[in-house]
Amino acid sequence: MKAYRFRLDSVLRVRQLQERVAAQQLAVAVRDLHGARTELTRARRSLEGLAAPAGRLTVGAVEWTHAQSDRMSERARRSADEVEAAEEVARQATQAWGSARQRTAMLERLDERHLALWRAELDRSEAVERDDLTTGRKTREGGPR
């Protein structure tokens, strides 16, 4: 009997490759999301740490503090937007990986079923061959004793 070969093996290899690519894209998206969240935390801490000027104030000091506060607020807002965008990319990457995993798993199950059928057929044909050998030997020896 010929060796087992899954007819859709090339499709399975492509699906496995697609799954690996999707997993790598998910890892990148999660890394980017973590980085965006870290940056947002830093921006918020910087903004919270901004102290109001104390003591004798000049117009320049007040204007500088106000401008600094605006810059830090803008940084925090941009960071929050980046976190939102990174969350969306991570969500899409998770869905893409899940779909790729399902398609791969479906073909792997199909391959397992075909392999089980092939093994059962191989076992059956080996049993028939053994029976034929046993029957042939008894016939050559002059039948049952």
Give a yes or no: residue 131 inside a domain.
no
Range of the domain at 82: 9-109
> What CA–CA distances, in Å, run from 1 to 4, 58, 110, 122, 135?
9, 95, 21, 7, 21
Mean of per-residue pLDDT scores for the chain: 91
Determine the pLDDT at residue 144: 57
59-80 pLDDT per residue, tens = 888 888 889 889 999 999 999 9
Single-letter residue type at 42: R
Radius of gyration of the chain from Cα atoms? 34
pLDDT of 99 = 97
Q: Is residue 91 part of a domain?
A: yes
Query: 5-31, pLDDT tens digit by residue?
Result: 999 999 999 999 999 999 999 999 999
Closest CA to 36 of 87, 95, 92: 87
Q: Around Cβ 101, how many Cβ atoms within 10 Å?
A: 15
Query: Percent of the chain at pLDDT above 70?
Result: 93
**What is the rounded average pLDDT of the residues 40-54?**
86
Closest CA to 65 of 57, 76, 74, 75: 57
Counted domains in the chain: 1
Q: Residue 115 pLDDT > 60, yes or no?
A: yes
The model scores a pTM over 0.85: no
Residue 1: per-residue pLDDT: 67
State residue 51 phi and psi, 5-degree precision: -95, 145
Q: Is residue 96 part of a domain?
A: yes
* Per-residue tokens: 119: 């093994």
pLDDT for the residue 142: 62
CB 75 within 8 A of CB 43: yes
